[in-house]
Structures are given as C-alpha cells and as structure tokens.
Amino acid sequence: MLVKYFAYIRDYTGAKEIQIEHYKSLRSLLRELCKKYGAKFENKVFTGENLSDEIIILVNGRNIVHLESLDTKLQADDVISIFPVVAGG
C-alpha cells in the first residue's frame, strides 16, 4: 500500500510518500506509522484513541469520515493520503 504525506506532515515523516506492508485497518496502519515517526507525528494524528481534528485522511480519494473512520478496512493496493487541516482567510 502507498501512504502519501502532505504539507507540514512531511516534516514529521521526512518523506512525500512510502510503500508499506498491508495493514487490515486504518487504525492499525496509523499506529504503526506512529511507532515509525514518533511522538510529534502521533500527537498530530491522534487525540487519545480518536483521530485528531487537525488531520484529514483519504483512502483512495475518499475521506474516512464517509467510510468507517479509523475502522476503515484496507486492501494491499490502497492509497492513503494524510493531510493537515488547513485554515485560511
């Protein structure tokens, strides 16, 4: 599966995208990414056990709020995109 990082999330990962082994759910993938990238990344992605309101995640171009959120099932060929919420005026 392919994981893409956008904007300042790249600062935490040091990469624009990575290929990673298949994880069955979005939650398990994100937990593994937190282990890989450390506390700064984890603090942006999670608030306790819930997804942070500072992050938007797409699976194959669909926002996970329209899927099963952190319980979204993943396939080996999925593309996961992780964005920070951007505010502007």
- CATH number of the domain bearing residue 65: 3.10.20.30
Domain that holds residue 66: 2-84
| 70 falls within a domain | yes
What band does 27 get if pLDDT is binned at 50, 70 and 90?
A: very high
| 89 falls within a domain | no
Q: What residues contact 14, with CB distance under 8 A and at least 6 apart?
A: none
| 62 falls within a domain | yes
| 18 falls within a domain | yes
- pLDDT digits over 30-87, tens only? 999 999 999 999 999 999 999 999 999 999 999 999 999 999 999 999 999 999 998 6
**Number of domains making up the chain:** 1
- Residue 7: what pLDDT? 95
Distances (CA, A) of 50 to 1, 23, 25, 35: 23, 18, 14, 16
